[in-house]
Amino acid sequence: MYLVAQQVQSPRGSIGTNAVMYHHTSISAPINWKSPDLEAIASRYPGERIAQHVEVPPGGNSIICYLDVAAHDQTPRSKINAALDELALLIETGTPVAKLHGEVAVEFRVTMIRALDEAPTHFIELRQAILQLLEHQHDIEQPSHTQPLTIRVEKDAQRWRFSLEPQDRSRVPTIATSVTVPFDVADDFQALHGELHPHVAEWVTGLSREQILKLGGVRFVGEINQQWPA
């Protein structure tokens, strides 16, 4: 299992926390889970994405700070929490800070100098995002509905706003969130990555594309009337 939470800043100045959880059950990789190499896992063997939480859509964002965790997929939440407790004690000494707690590897790093003074606060925020993903992983892995999820699309003079309809919120973890995307960012993103809709579905629900498909896909209503996949 590999978890990463990042506080990011968009090119237009929006700041928020994005987090992703990966599992390795179906992935063959040369990883020693008794003493996981966090750098190798993050760079070469992140695994299969299971869930995510997005507050600032990807696309030219700057990373303010990040928190990484690596452990076997079956590692109890309590052990990861204990490793983060130990890491928290080291934050005051400065960053980057890395720690191997038993079979759990953790690292916290501030990448913008101006954020160093607030390192303990940033760590708490990123830790909360990671623990929230862990709390809901079993809900994520066992979808049982087949009707499409419904995402409402609204807009104002400058941006799109996407949010999961209330009747579908019980079908996904509570990490489901509303996402706003400025028109110019949406245009630039589509030029680089293709159709926006599947990405929006992932950002709003916190689910991987494969999990969304198992739920029946997504129906967009409001300013846009479209279903994905078509």
What tens digit of pLDDT does each residue of 184-200 get? 999 888 888 888 888 99
Cβ-based neighbour number of residue 159 at 10 Å: 16
- Contact, 18 vs 3, CB < 8 A? no
- Contact, 14 vs 166, CB < 8 A? no
- Which helix (H) or strand (E) covers residue 188, if one does? helix 183-193
Confidence grade of residue 141 (pLDDT, cut at 50, 70, 90): very low
Confidence grade of residue 175 (pLDDT, cut at 50, 70, 90): low
Q: Which pLDDT belongs to residue 138?
A: 54
Average pLDDT, the chain: 86
